Every structure is written in structure tokens, then in C-alpha cells.
Amino acid sequence: MSSKLTPTQPLNLLRSSVNSLVSHPIILWPFVTIAFVQLIFVEILYFAPRFPLNNFFGPIIQRFFGEAYLHYPFNLVILSQLFQYGQIPLYIFVSSFFIAMGILIIFNINNNRRIHLRQVAQDTWAQYVHIVVAAIVMALALYWTYTLYGILAQKVLRSVVSMGIIPFLKVIIVKGSTFFYLLIGTFMTTLFAFVFPIIMIEKVKIFPAILKNFQNFISGGWTLWIVIFVSTLLYLPVLILRQNVLKLIDKSFPEISLLIVIFGILITIFMDAIIYTAITTYYLWQREHR
């Protein structure tokens, strides 16, 4: 694998990442595990309005959404939204751990070491506190960026409406919000891309890792951003389906919202595997060429 670490161009980096996944499918194992955990969480949400789970979820759903959403078919209307809320703690405490495991697997493959999943898990657990803190920092940064964009988009939209500016600008702001959020997400992923690899490979603490991450970002962030953006386009159909879930439910059946969530989870396996393989590959290349 190390002989192929020449990702001077985005296309080469993307090709190298895909080839690594094909040659070493064990890299997929942590991401499949994340998907398995997410599917269990979806199952819990699906049965949340029923006994005995409704003892816990019932008051929460009733307070924030209303009594109707405890019953079919309205419980399926909010399924995707509840899943997205749950993704935050899942990412911080579960997904980040397995992503870090994936990074360590790629590092070991690059150094021609045999992969022992138990040992990889133990080495990852030793860095768990730093991984979780890093995940919290990244989640907060993404949340604040999304919030800032939402505020600015609302202000621009009000100005466009009040000033009677060309109508298509309103359409761009409203209909294009999904694409803009995707752009923001890919940029923030790139901005903090090297934090996990630095923690896992260099065994440094969180704040030195963040500082070193920004140094690596300055020297090659845009190459990595292109790869992350192209890979994230795999998820674009899921975002479009989620944005139109109410129309789809109205024209088909309520369970379509559940199928969309499951489809998104399956797509994410390959998308995240490509992205974090590319990130680790690019970091190792930078590390060898300092």
C-alpha cells in the first residue's frame, strides 16, 4: 500500500482509496459496524411509540412534536428527524471510536503489519478520551457553522423578498439549502480531517493534534476537499429524498421514510470508508514527504 501513496492529484487520491478498499476489505469492518449500530438505533426509534419503549420515548415525542406523532403514520413522519438528532451522540461516543479504528487499520496495512482487530480496538480505546473530545469539538464547529449559515440565509431571504429582487434568487436560497449544507459539511470535514489520524498515529493529545491538523490542512487541504466533496455526492440523493419526505409519504406510503433512512445508512458505509481512507492515505503521504 505504501508504494501507492502518491496522491498528488485528487483523482489519484480517490483512485488510491478505492483500490485500498478493494484490496483490503477489512478496512470496511469498522464502518459496517457503525452501520449496524445505526440500524439498531433506527429499530429502537421505529418501536419507540410501542410498549415498553414508549415509557421513555413517549413523553419526549409528545412534548416536542405532539400526541399525534406517537401513532401511525405520524410516527414515521418524524423518524428521519429523530434519527438525525440521535446521530450527534452516536457520532461522538460510538462512530468516532470505529472511525479511529479504521484509521489505525489503514496505518497498519501501510506498514505491512498483520491486522488483529482486538489489538486495534485496545489501541483505539487507549486514545478514546482524546477521540471523544475531538468529536465534540468537530460537532460543535459544524453546528455553529450550520447555525450561522441558517441565520445569514434567513436575512438574505428576507432582503430578497422585501426588495423584490429577481425571483430565482429566492429559489436558489430555499431549494439550494441542501446543497449549501453539503458544501459546508464537506469543508468542515476537510478542516478537521487530520485530527483523528494525528491522534491515532502520532499518539498526541487533542489540542496539539488540532494545531497540527490545521498545519496539514494549509499544506494540502484543497486536494483533500475535492476528494471528500466528490465522495459525499454519493449521499446527495439521500439528502434530496429526506428534503422531500413529506411529499413522498403523501404520494406513496409512510414506510418510505424508514426506507430512506436505511438507504442513507448503507450509502454512508462506502462514503465514509472512501473519505477516511483518503484522509489517512493523504496524511501518511504528507508524513513521508516532510
Tens-place pLDDT, residues 188-206: 999 999 999 999 999 999 9
Instruction: Indicate whether 122 belongs to any domain.
Output: yes
pLDDT of residue 39: 98
Give the percent of the chain with pLDDT over 90.
Answer: 77
Instruction: Indicate whether 1 belongs to any domain.
Output: no
Grid cell in block for residue 197? 489520524
pLDDT of residue 5: 46
278, 102 in Cβ contact below 8 A? no
Instruction: Indicate whether 2 belongs to any domain.
Output: no
Q: Give the H/E segment covering residue 127.
A: none
Please say if the pLDDT value at position 4 is more than 60. no
Specify the higher pLDDT residue, 12 or 177: 12
- The residue among 23, 114, 37, 92 whose CA lies nearest residue 269 is 37
Summary mean pLDDT of the chain: 91
- Among the residue ranges 3-12, 37-46, 57-66, 131-140, the one predicted with the least confidence is 3-12
- Among the residue ranges 39-48, 115-124, 144-153, 189-198, the one predicted with the least confidence is 144-153
Task: Enter the pTM of the model.
Answer: 0.93
Helix (H, G, I), strand (E, B) or coil at 89: helix
Average pLDDT, integer, range 77-103: 96
Instruction: Indicate whether 65 belongs to any domain.
Output: yes
For residue 261, the one-letter residue type is: V
Instruction: Indicate whether 3 belongs to any domain.
Output: no
Instruction: Indicate whether 138 belongs to any domain.
Output: yes
pLDDT of residue 159: 72
Q: Is 136 exposed, middle or buried (0-12, 13-18, 19+ CB in 10 A)?
A: middle
Residue labelled with grid coordinates 418501536 = 47
Residue labelled with grid coordinates 440565509 = 153
Please say if the pLDDT value at position 155 is more than 60. yes
6, 285 in Cβ contact below 8 A? yes
For residue 107, the one-letter residue type is: F
CA distance linking residue 89 with residue 94, whole number of Å: 8
Average pLDDT, integer, range 228-242: 93
- Total count of domains within the chain: 1
Please report which residue ranges of the chain form alpha helices under DSSP H: 10-23, 29-46, 54-64, 74-77, 79-90, 96-110, 117-126, 128-163, 167-175, 177-191, 195-197, 206-232, 236-243, 245-251, 256-288
Helix (H, G, I), strand (E, B) or coil at 67: helix
* Per-residue confidence band for 134, with pLDDT thresholds at 50, 70 and 90: very high
Question: What is the signed CA dihedral for 128, 21, 139, 193, rounded to 10 degrees?
Answer: 90
Average pLDDT, integer, range 206-224: 91
Which domain, by its residues, includes 251? Answer: 9-288
CA distance linking residue 182 with residue 175, whole number of Å: 13
Grid cell in block for residue 239? 439528502
Instruction: Indicate whether 206 belongs to any domain.
Output: yes
Instruction: Indicate whether 14 belongs to any domain.
Output: yes
32, 58 in Cβ contact below 8 A? no
25, 102 in Cβ contact below 8 A? no
Specify the higher pLDDT residue, 208 or 173: 208
Please say if the pLDDT value at position 290 is more than 90. no
* Per-residue confidence band for 167, with pLDDT thresholds at 50, 70 and 90: low
